[in-house]
Chain A
């Protein structure tokens, strides 16, 4: 929590125009005496704060969706992106970009693409009211590969002036973010929903049959997980484009830090995702300032070494 707050402050302080820490606190308190301060206030309240919040919400949603997916598939490889969701979203968004539509329609296209892709994957692997996790994972990977080919195709036939926007979208881009009020509320609701679900998730993680024998109504639980994870992923994707990696890695990192108990793991994943993505986005804005990098690039650059370090540390003890 504390770390989360500090990262947020850091994000507000840093940028092309450096603003001292004290000033940031003053401005957040609502005091803007002179015109220069007014300008700074605009930068903070209308540019940096919405973007920082969007990064946190996106990271939180993706990490939680990943934690849910890993339970549903009972497979540590599961993640909304591995399952072809980002691909579907990308197709929707790229088509909208190619047609030169506005950014809200690009978001809409991504949302639609993500949901359609998830329904396709889950529909194909849902047999006799049961999900077979291996088939689900394979179907997802194959569908994702198909989307990948389509993405290359779209990029190849697109006019040059739209290519840069498309590439940024594909790598995850927070630069068009408004204050994500609805999305933040969704994140909060999903964290709250996860609390009464968590003990059942713990049992389901040990196997559906065992969970059923211990009194868990398995099918309703599977549908609940699926619906929640889908909504969270689709929301995150329309907010920030295709930011991979967080959904896969944050639940793993958190499992090493707080253990496998979902009562703690899911809120911790939301927090961890928020911190990592916010940190990555702040770096993306500031490393080559005033040039901005795609957020997804920095996410992986931060996340890969962190994950490898934790993986090795865990093995030695």
Chain B
């Protein structure tokens, strides 16, 4: 089942075309890795898919209907985005911050936070945050804050997760447990995940598909085993690569 699809999508930043003619289907059960050099359009792509910035051309459809025909609330019920940077607001607690994830599913007058407690608690537990639930967000470490944002996404419970560098600030253990969790989600029917990341080897270990953005309009997409090879990666990153066999497949390292 195709959840989100792009037809001839074009992405520009002032003075430059980042992606052009992108035809791309994201289907339930897929875990996509988006890679490319700095400024190649990964973040722009994710935010455009979420309907948060206009595309320079082409069409995005959600369940075969143009994205523009949906209300913001309907989009938020179906997809959630993890931002690379979190804007800071007025001080609130971890629990209040996570509760925001329920917003797309609640009515205007549905004020009882108690009913949401279980959902919130289990998501915070998944992200290893149950012990800091009552703390103000500004007392958390960088990695804990990142996990709080991920927990908020889990509470939002969409079909499609758009993750912009989810492993930023996470320690080794939490990088693995987070990606384990999302690959488990993507494997379940009706969910799919798109992740932009510079953690090439982690991404290749957990993702099923890959989208390469060359930053000059060119792109390539497909199954990881069909698309990834050292030559392509060298062209993508414009850096010589070495390959070593590892316990989860090949390990690619910069030479």
Contacts and interface: CB of A to CB of B under 8 A. Distances in A.
Interface string B72-98: 111111001101001111111000110
Interface string A69-105: 0000010100000000000000000000000000000
14 contacts: A74-B89, A203-B100, A206-B100, A209-B52, A209-B83, A210-B86, A210-B87, A214-B104, A214-B156, A215-B72, A215-B73, A215-B77, A215-B104, A217-B73
Contacts of B232: none
B110 to A, nearest CB: 9
Contacts of B52: 209, 212-213
Interface size class of B (residues with CB under 8 A): 20 to 34
A260 B156 CA distance: 21
Contacts of A205: 89-90
Nearest to B80: A213
Interface residues of A, number: 24
Contact of B111 (A76, A217, A255, A263): A263
Contacts of A261: 92, 96
B87 A213 contact: no
Interface string A209-251: 1101111111000000000000000000000000000000000
Q: Which of A208, A209, A213 has the most CB of B within 10 A?
A: A213
Nearest to A200: B103
A101 to B, nearest CB: 43
Contacts of B100: 202-203, 206, 210, 214
Given A205-B90, A212-B52, A199 B103 contact: yes
B9 interface: no
A300 B100 CA distance: 36
A208 B96 CA distance: 17
B75 A215 contact: yes
Given A207-B89, A260-B90, A214 B106 contact: no
Given A206-B97, A209-B52, A263-B111, A214 B103 contact: yes
Nearest to B92: A260
Contacts of B156: 214
B101 interface: yes
Interface of A: 74, 76, 196, 199, 202-203, 205-210, 212-218, 255, 259-261, 263
A206 B72 CA distance: 17
Given A196-B109, A260-B92, A209 B72 contact: no
B71 interface: yes
Given A196-B109, A213-B50, A203 B103 contact: yes
Given A212-B52, A215-B77, A196 B108 contact: yes
A215 B87 contact: no
B82 to A, nearest CB: 9
Contacts of A213: 50, 52, 76, 80-81, 83
Q: List 4 A-B pairs, minimum CB-CB distance, nearest first.
A: A215-B76, A207-B87, A215-B104, A215-B73
Contacts of B92: 206, 259-261
Q: Which of B73, B89, B156 has the most CB of A within 10 A?
A: B89
Nearest to B109: A196
A214 B101 contact: yes
B71 A217 contact: yes
Given A215-B77, A218-B72, 8 more contacts: A74-B87, A207-B87, A209-B83, A210-B87, A213-B83, A214-B104, A217-B71, A255-B90
Nearest to A74: B89
Contacts of B106: 199
A159 B114 CA distance: 64
Nearest to B104: A215
A212 B52 CA distance: 7
Contacts of A216: 72-73, 103
Contacts of B80: 213
